[in-house]
Structure 1
Amino acid sequence: MKKILLLVLVAMLGFCGQIQAQTKTLTGKVTDSKDGSALPGVSVVVKGSKLGTATSGTGEFTLKAPNAATTLVFSSVGYVTKEVSIPSSGVLAVSLDPSSSQLEEVVVSTGSRNSKRTMTDTPLPIDILSANELRSTGQTSFDKALQYRVPSFNTVNTPVNDATSLLDPYEIRNMGPSRTLILINGKRKNTSALMYIQTSPGRGESGADISAIPQQAIKRVEILRDGASAQYGSDAIAGVMNIILKDKFDYGSATLTTGITHKGDGKHIGFSVNNGSNFGKGGFVNYTIDFSRTTLANRPGKVSAEAEADANLGFDAPLAQVKSFLALKPDAGNINGQPENTAAKFLINSGIPVGETAELYFNAAYVYKRVNSFANYRTPYWRTTDDGLLTPAGQPYLGYVPTFQGDLNDYNATIGVKNEKNGWKTDLSFTTGGNKQLYTVSNSRNRSLGKNSPTYFKPGGYEFSHNVGNIDISKQLNDKLSLSFGSEFRAETFTVFVGDTSSYVGTGADSFPGTTPNNAGSNSRFNFGGYIDLGYDITDNFLVNGTIRSEHYSDFGSATVYKISSRYKVNDKITLRGSYSTGFRAPLLHQIYQQQAQASFVPGQGIQTKGIVNNVSPQAFALGVPKLTPEKSTNFTLGLGLNPTKNLSVTLDYYNIKVKDRIVLGSEIAGTSAGNTALDNILKSNGIVAVSFFANALNTTTSGLDFVVSQKNIDLGMGKLGINLAGNYTFENKYTSINNPKLIADAGKSIFDRTQDALLFSSRPKYKVILGFDYLIKGININLNNTLFGKTRFHQNGLDANTDTEFTPAVVSDLAISIPLSKQTTFSFNVNNVLNVMPKWDFIDLKTGTKTRFDANNNVPTAKYWEQYNLITFNGRYSNVTYDGSQFSQLGTIFNASLNVKF
């Protein structure tokens, strides 16, 4: 037996030795041919096989290849693919040439419909962010990663978390979420079903849910910071964000992420896989699966007993009763901050060669998201009973906290065919997408139903969907002239779902009344448009580009817009660029048809209505509110690009955006104190106590400056240091006129008050600057990012006419460290907001300019601003950010770690 085992062992060793002898180990380093810098992430593949790896942070690689292998293929975005023969030594030193053609494709997909230009030559300001740059922020969602990489991009968690917790409002250049067009691989992403109606930034608008896009699926992001309605149609007044998905498969990877706040809450766990395959001549499939869960992070303030007991500020309750309850719950049981969030995301992207000149391509994504949050706690002196429905038998009644659950389903898919023949490029595609949100309220009751009330409600929800067809054709006619033209057909549908009867009857579900049958329904429209684009190189250094577009909408008519842009290269180091365009934004179906009028019984006065009435309702007609028409805009930019050295680049871009007939959700209109105007008569005859509505209410002007300074390859010790400075400064963001309906103006009222003014024009930072340091040493990457958030100003409901609140400037520092544990494994650690900087705000006396920091812990009833502080923080519940929000997150320091394994 021993002899047999010995023979088997010898045979196995021989076989292993034979296998070992059939492979060889290859090592090497890949650098940039221009500046000699190391190139991380370069794909290294044995030609004719699927064997491969990627270079490390120092540009180095190790690969086992068959003895018969003769050639390696090196490829990376922005560089010319290179085939290199394997030397007998097995050691390679490879330099890659920058590829103007690949960079041209970056610009053509976002900046123009035909003219291919490198980044230096582009006539338009475009930011390009790689997937690595986004991941290095340590942020768990795509929108929050952009917040700390793009100065003109702003988003923050809303302080009041119900339906808005499903999607935080974001914007570019302080223009609101509905004025930035979101594309995926150059095709329009569907808008969210949610419209923001609370007093927070983004009020009255909606945008695409970019937080639903898994970061592992993103190859790069292109942000065009310029009006682009002539190229893409509606929604592109502020700019365009084009999310490019991973395509050709290099390697698979799995990433495990985890995180927690410095207070031990807000725990995050996530797992994602990106994988795929290449096939045929250029065919590929790339897919991503992403699961994540984030638990509640609670940031309530200490509640004032005196304010709670006060008849004007609180609940006119006995002070002793209030103090007794607050002794048990100093925050009055309130829960606010970051809600619990669970998400599952799936995405696939593929291209299939068809013949010699065509490609069939498709991509699809599906996201399911569930958010659990809380309404304000109903204290026992606010809601004096729960009719025995919510308190277990035998326990004292201490009030209750209604919960809110939002279930979101978001999908998008595109299928198309690209072809090139005789110099003509054609792209035919069909895109579909939708966003559906359904809500659930628990641990609540309908007070008008008494003991017959349920404690679980389905108050309804919203859905938006679209179908889009595109045809794009282009050709380079000669060395100087290029032509592009095409058309688009889009059909949209917006649906409001009715709530269950108990959620809306009488007073409705406490905290979130349901949608009544009168306010539910489905509405659709379609539009058809076409464009033509010409690019002309007057000289090698001087080019001009012009685009004209015309669209027809089934509900309001036609719009025609145009754009002219140009670039002039003074020399290899100085480039001048500029553009002028007109634009439009069609009113959202949400803005036309959403209605949230709440009927209630007022003793002695009967049934009365209060809420939002839609733009085509009899009430809006009676008030003389015109039907919504498109916003019209003009957009002027002027820029300068400098390249003093091969490692230093500087860009400065001035912008000026004027919007006419800007659509806003107006302030609440109530009757006059005299009670004898035509407005009073209309409100009384329609049973309306107070009402808000959408209108083309404003003409606005926004101007500012974007700048980017990048210095790379600074020798520091044994490593290389890169420095990036990017910023945005707003010169002007204001309205120039208000268009009030005559009936309302005659009554001395306005649909636009100071609270709305602040939300639109000063609730985002006046300036924002990001200073980043990136240090690479022996494969270890250390990134320190410092984001300066400028001041923001609010005028919350409850402030007197002589007072505003202002959040003071603050610097948030983020540290990221990435360590390659092996050729296939990388560990990353992030500390976001290292110094635990929290938003700070002051009261501003508008007459004297005096700033006062209110100390809520030592307040007394006679203290200055005591009453106003309690009005705008709900007696201290929202002390960190007030009821309307702040300029950055209130969660403080957050620790995140991730482990990435390539396979």
Structure 2
Amino acid sequence: MKDKIIKLSVVALAVSAVCSASPALAQQQQAEEAPEDIERIVTLGSRVNGRTATESASPVDIISSEQLAETGASELGKAIQMSAPSFNFSSTTISDGSDIIRPATLRGLGPDQVLVLVNGKRRHQQALVNVQETIGKGSAGYDINAIPITAVERVEILRDGAAAQYGSDAIAGVINITLKSSDGGSVNAEIGQTYEGDGEVNQVGLNLGTTSDKGHFNVTLEYRDRGMTNRAAPATLEATGGQLIGDWWDRNGDPVVRLHVGDADSENYYAWFNSAYTLSSTTELYAFGGISSRDGGSAGFFRGRGHPRTIETLYPDGFLPQLKTEADDQSLAVGVRGDLPNAWLWDASIVYGKNEFGFNSANSANVSWYYEPAPGGGIYAETPTEAFDGELVFDQTTFNLDFNGTVDLNNELLYLALGVEFRTDGYEINAGDPVSWAYGRTNDPSVTILTPSGDPAEAGIQGFPGFSPGQEVDATRDSYGAYVDAEYYVTPDWLLAGALRYEDYDIAGDNISGKISTRYDITSDFSVRGTLATGFRAPGVQQIYYSQVLTNIVNGTLVQTGTVSNDDDVARQFGINRLEEETSESASIGIIKRWRNGLDLTVDLYQINIDDRIVISEPLTADVGAEFAAILENNNLGAAQFFTNSVDTKTQGLDIIASYPTEVLSGDLVLTTALSFVNTDVEQVNSVSSLISAEQIFNDTQVLRIEEGQPSEKASIMADWERDRWSVNVAFNYFGAVEGQAFTGIKHKWDGKWLTDLSVGYDLTDDFKVVVGANNLFDTYPDEWGSAGVPFSQAGFKYGWETLPFGINGGYYYVKAKYSF
């Protein structure tokens, strides 16, 4: 520990020795630039003020609010997916909380291997852990849709390893979301629905801003209601004689739709603000943040007649459990920044964020509660059909002190940035109602509870059994770090940049990461750039403390199954070590070419090697081995799964982006093409326990999901045309093939598909615009699952279950209106 303190002290002393300054000068310089130049100035990847995207040593995408709106998407995550091929936002269904908070990834890596910033400040992660068979299983990433699209001025995506600059999580890159700060305001509204007549969207947003020589204040209010969609097919189930969990056919023996397969219902409320106030000629106070609240509704798996899970006096025709979720998010950043002598800048800030995810079951039942013997004889014959299942809470407090400026070295400027960061992460699991998790009212396993068929009654409410008091946790973890970041023009045409960062985490230990980037302008129109970097990702407190242990029946005996907390001594009994950080090495090389006719082209090739990736194992049973089975029995466990540092991967990719402005039909036309090719290989699976083999702890199904679960190819070809009051946007988006074998064990490939989006806008006045459009104009769906999905394809999963990059909704049409003032 003494060595760690010495390392940190060295950098901290360097920081304290620097005289620094504020962003006031940078803001003034940007205000003097033309509007189109302001949009190209980046705040990500470089701490040098006023640098444009084409001058950066690393690839940075800039997506304006207008470009986000032109996608036709009403959710921020979906709009980014349609604008940046390196970004993926997979659709999920019947996947518990992941139906509401979708996994967001960059460059084919995991949801927690990309860092998200808001106004350049670290944003907190989500409380939800993805534990179902979805992209990013075992991770807890960022809730992108907790930020209203109405509040966003632009999105910057740094497609380069940046842990040395920004800290843990930035292995794949960084996404910075900049909030609006302009004067004036707007009111926008949207109505739309799918071609099938469901998935109705009703959205209204209000943005108001005021600016003066003292600062600015901008506020956003947004409401969005998104209806559920259902693409389930009738349940035929010929191969099982109409039996899966009970009888799924109707009483006439005919197949009927029993499942809800599609988007969850979601009702969303947002209130966000962004502000700054000049305290003196050299100091500025700023604050931003907001709250969001989302109520979601999705479904579980159908329980049919004649099965011990179905209480036929309550549900004579079977029942479909409903999951009602509540995702509440809040954040607040407050800081002071200003000028110091010699044109240095300083910035001190504290950011607090909290994400709460509550689970509620409805249209369900606790079988053991219903059939529990009553004291006076007989059974209670009563069970609640809805319950609060529990809540996950993640909160984060981050303090930053940053300095940046220049140092004169032999009449050449060295751009320098220094800083320190202190952060506290907290995680809670709060128990649900007793009926959501208990075995009968007393939760006494010695009591025999039988269904009318003579089968043992299962515990907990069905669909999503709740968290019990034994799983409750309230834990925190502290970390601190320091960094130095420098850029220097060795010659007028050769930029050299480097960064070094030290971080220390309670539990996970310390890490030093570094980055070297360079850019050389061969001519004024042609440049090359490249990066070598090391990175890391500390295990999330969600991964350290998450557990969900269910009471199930195995061979007629009540046992517990589920996820064992990595912090639990039981995990040590199985030989599961405490989680350590993931480490990475990355390299990239790229070119930038500009033509005088306005054509711009960037090509970037990269490779990212990650060791000790944190994954969640499959549920492991007594089949693992005799010693493993004995430990299960001693702990009354029927099966257990664990978070482990078990996987080494190699990711290689190529990003190509081109844009070309021209004139067509007396109007301005901008053509943009973006291509992303990525391939991830699992190089090695390592078992951290002598009791469990590598193949058992991370099987072929999970390996396939990492390697082929996300599209290896994505492409966007977009055309934006404007003339007088008219505007037309056409986009062709390609999602490459994906593969999976979860649930069935049968490997299956879904071919790549092109989707076409079209919108036409007209300015009724200078301030009022109407847009009519359609996303997925030609109503394209994924390939049907077919016989490879039996019995689930016969249960109603027509298009698959596990990995669906563009969803299964088909076409969507809408009308939007925007009034600006």
TM value normalised by structure 1: 0.82
Q: Distance in 1 between matches of 2:654 and 2:29?
A: 31
Compared CA separation, residues 387 and 869, structure 1 to 2 (3 A)? closer
Q: Distance in 2 between matches of 1:822 and 1:494?
A: 51
* 2:327 alignment partner in structure 1: 408
- Indicate conservation of the 8 Å contact 1:613/1:691, yes or no: yes
- Indicate conservation of the 8 Å contact 1:620/1:693, yes or no: yes
Q: Which runs of 4+ in 1 moved over 6 A?
A: 77-80
* 2:538 alignment partner in structure 1: 586
Is residue 2:345 matched to residue 1:425?
yes
Of residues 441, 448, 455, the one that matches 2:361 is 441
Which letter does structure 2 place at the counterpart of 1:755?
A: T
**Partner deviation per Cα, 1:253-283 (whole Å, 9 max, x = no partner):** 111111111011111111111012123x141
Q: Distance in 1 between matches of 2:237 and 2:480?
A: 59
The aligned runs of 1:36-51 (5 Å cut-off) are: none
Aligned residue for 2:293, secondary structure, equals strand
Is residue 2:404 matched to residue 1:474?
yes
Is residue 2:686 matched to residue 1:729?
no
Which letter does structure 1 place at the counterpart of 2:684?
A: S
Compared CA separation, residues 656 and 365, structure 1 to 2 (3 A)? same
* 1:334 alignment partner in structure 2: 259
Q: Distance in 2 between matches of 1:685 and 1:759?
A: 33
Compared CA separation, residues 492 and 80, structure 1 to 2 (3 A)? closer
Q: CA deviation at 1:646?
A: 4.0
Q: CA deviation at 1:116?
A: 5.2
Q: CA deviation at 1:608?
A: 1.8
The aligned runs of 1:142-291 (5 Å cut-off) are: 142-249=76-183, 251-279=184-212, 281-291=213-223
* 2:522 alignment partner in structure 1: 570
The aligned runs of 1:426-825 (5 Å cut-off) are: 426-450=346-370, 451-478=381-408, 479-506=412-439, 507-602=459-554, 606-672=557-623, 677-713=626-662, 715-730=663-678, 732-745=679-692, 750-799=696-745, 803-825=746-768
Q: Distance in 2 between matches of 1:595 and 1:262?
A: 41
Once structures 1 and 2 are overlaid, which stretch shifts more, 183-192 or 591-600? 591-600
- Indicate conservation of the 8 Å contact 2:430/2:473, yes or no: yes
Q: CA deviation at 1:685?
A: 2.6
**Partner deviation per Cα, 1:757-811 (whole Å, 9 max, x = no partner):** 1222211111001111111122311010001111111122323xxx520011110
Aligned residue for 2:696, secondary structure, equals coil
* 2:286 alignment partner in structure 1: 361
Q: Distance in 1 between matches of 2:713 and 2:761?
A: 30
The aligned runs of 1:61-140 (5 Å cut-off) are: 97=34, 102=38, 106-107=41-42, 109-114=43-48, 117-140=51-74
Compared CA separation, residues 574 and 400, structure 1 to 2 (3 A)? same
Q: Distance in 2 between matches of 1:738 and 1:473?
A: 42
Aligned residue for 2:706, secondary structure, equals helix
Q: CA deviation at 1:687?
A: 2.6
Q: CA deviation at 1:743?
A: 2.7
Which letter does structure 1 place at the counterpart of 2:284?
A: E
**Partner deviation per Cα, 1:510-534 (whole Å, 9 max, x = no partner):** 1111111111111110101000112
Which letter does structure 1 place at the counterpart of 2:676?
A: N
- Indicate conservation of the 8 Å contact 1:161/1:339, yes or no: no
* 2:771 alignment partner in structure 1: 828
Alignment gaps of 5+ in structure 2? 1-26, 371-380, 440-458
Q: Distance in 1 between matches of 2:804 and 2:185?
A: 40
Asked which structure has the greater CA Rg, the reply is 1
Which letter does structure 1 place at the counterpart of 2:798?
A: S
Q: CA deviation at 1:679?
A: 2.3
Compared CA separation, residues 385 and 706, structure 1 to 2 (3 A)? closer
Which letter does structure 2 place at the counterpart of 1:535?
A: E
Q: Distance in 1 between matches of 2:739 and 2:789?
A: 15
* 1:14 alignment partner in structure 2: none
* 1:22 alignment partner in structure 2: none
**Larger RCO, structures 1/2 (Cα 8 Å, 6+ apart):** 2
Q: CA deviation at 1:78?
A: 12
Is residue 2:814 matched to residue 1:896?
yes
Alignment length (residue pairs): 762
Q: Distance in 2 between matches of 1:758 and 1:115?
A: 43
Aligned residue for 1:597, secondary structure, equals strand
- Indicate conservation of the 8 Å contact 1:190/1:465, yes or no: yes
Q: Distance in 1 between matches of 2:353 and 2:707?
A: 31
Aligned residue for 2:796, secondary structure, equals coil
**Partner deviation per Cα, 1:346-405 (whole Å, 9 max, x = no partner):** 0111110111121111002100110012222222234574263x35xxxxx211222211
Q: CA deviation at 1:310?
A: 6.3
Q: CA deviation at 1:344?
A: 0.6
Q: CA deviation at 1:585?
A: 0.2
Aligned residue for 1:672, secondary structure, equals helix
Q: CA deviation at 1:294?
A: 1.3
Q: CA deviation at 1:840?
A: 0.8
Q: CA deviation at 1:141?
A: 0.1
Q: CA deviation at 1:841?
A: 5.0
- Indicate conservation of the 8 Å contact 1:375/1:404, yes or no: yes
Compared CA separation, residues 705 and 749, structure 1 to 2 (3 A)? closer
* 2:239 alignment partner in structure 1: 307
Compared CA separation, residues 680 and 385, structure 1 to 2 (3 A)? closer
Which letter does structure 2 place at the counterpart of 1:735?
A: V
Which letter does structure 1 place at the counterpart of 2:719?
A: F
Which letter does structure 1 place at the counterpart of 2:181?
A: D
Q: Distance in 2 between matches of 1:555 and 1:764?
A: 32
Aligned residue for 1:683, secondary structure, equals helix
- Indicate conservation of the 8 Å contact 1:152/1:173, yes or no: yes
Compared CA separation, residues 590 and 152, structure 1 to 2 (3 A)? same
Q: Distance in 1 between matches of 2:31 and 2:120?
A: 24
Aligned residue for 1:338, secondary structure, equals coil
Which letter does structure 1 place at the counterpart of 2:589?
A: L
- Indicate conservation of the 8 Å contact 2:246/2:307, yes or no: no
- Indicate conservation of the 8 Å contact 2:312/2:318, yes or no: no
Which letter does structure 1 place at the counterpart of 2:670?
A: G
- Indicate conservation of the 8 Å contact 1:480/1:538, yes or no: no
Of residues 237, 240, 251, the one that matches 1:324 is 251
* 1:89 alignment partner in structure 2: none
* 1:15 alignment partner in structure 2: none
Once structures 1 and 2 are overlaid, which stretch shifts more, 448-457 or 410-419? 448-457
Q: Distance in 1 between matches of 2:291 and 2:147?
A: 9
Q: CA deviation at 1:601?
A: 4.6
* 1:861 alignment partner in structure 2: none
- Indicate conservation of the 8 Å contact 2:237/2:791, yes or no: no
Which letter does structure 1 place at the counterpart of 2:817?
A: L
Q: Distance in 1 between matches of 2:225 and 2:461?
A: 28
Aligned residue for 1:502, secondary structure, equals helix
Over the aligned positions, Cα root-mean-square deviation in angstroms equals 2.1
Compared CA separation, residues 646 and 417, structure 1 to 2 (3 A)? farther
Identity of aligned residues (%): 28
- Indicate conservation of the 8 Å contact 1:78/1:103, yes or no: no
Compared CA separation, residues 272 and 219, structure 1 to 2 (3 A)? same
Q: Distance in 2 between matches of 1:325 and 1:770?
A: 49
Q: Distance in 2 between matches of 1:248 and 1:631?
A: 40
